[in-house]
Amino acid sequence: MGLLDRLSARRDTDAPVAPVVLDTGVPQFPTKALRKLLSSLTSREAPVLLDLGPVIGSNLSFFGEQLGCKIFYEDIYAELDRYVKAGTLDELPGYLGRRFTQADASVDGILCWDLLEYLDKASAQVLADQLTRILRPEGSLLAFFSTIQPRDLTYTKFIIADESNLKYRTYPAARGRQAVLANRDIIRLFAGLRVSDSFLMKNNVREILFRKPSYEVR
């Protein structure tokens, strides 16, 4: 089975899982990929985690308590907003190519969330290349991809309830999601990584866990 086939079918041995709403009114949905990311990090001593979203205090506490890991935050959503409002999106790929100062193979895990869906093709490719560069062999990257095109101008804050559940809140965005990424496009973005797990949820989101092999992918 090829990589594209694996991405399309890998979890499709598990039934899609639907989001639920807590009594507090905060939407929550089950996550399987997060638990697998945590499992890969616990096998490492003093793991390093990179989160590409805004700082969320409860997430910071969760990873500190569960893993005792070192966490870096790089809120690329905020940077994207800045370029959109300034009308300089053509400069975003160059910025992303310089943005990450981490050394090669220096990060054990990356939380990409749904960021790639808001980027143009050139920016998405530069970001994917940078994340692949800084990820250590056998390191993991978690990303979300919608299967339908949302029309609202919002970003999403993903809040960890526990290792199996995520809450989420939306907040205003200067730019909406771009074209839905096909499986083949996702594979091409992360040509240096392997799809470890893929889970399709009933809220039309696919969560994908990528793993960097200990050998070079060709």
pLDDT score recorded for residue 202: 74
pLDDT given for residue 64 in this prediction: 86
Burial zone of 80 (CB within 10 Å; 0-12 exposed, 13-18 middle, 19+ buried) = buried
Question: Which is it for the CA torsion 124, 125, 131, 136, positive or negative?
Answer: positive
CB 11 within 8 A of CB 200: yes
3-class DSSP assignment, residue 146? strand
pLDDT at 10: 39
Question: Looking at residue 135, what DSSP letter applies?
Answer: E
Q: 215 pairs with which residues across the strands?
A: none
For residues 37 and 201, the answer to whether their CB atoms sit within 8 Å is no
Q: What is the pTM of this model?
A: 0.86
pLDDT for the residue numbered 218:
54
Taking the C-alpha atoms of residue 12 and residue 9, their distance in angstroms, rounded to an integer, is: 5
CATH number listed for the domain at residues 3-211: 3.40.50.150
Q: Per-domain residue ranges for the chain?
A: 3-211
One pLDDT digit (tens) per residue for the chain, 218 residues: 333 333 333 343 343 433 333 334 678 889 999 999 999 999 888 899 999 999 999 999 999 888 888 999 999 999 999 999 999 999 999 999 999 999 999 999 999 999 999 999 999 999 999 999 999 999 999 999 998 887 889 999 999 999 999 999 999 999 999 989 999 999 999 999 999 999 998 778 899 999 999 866 55
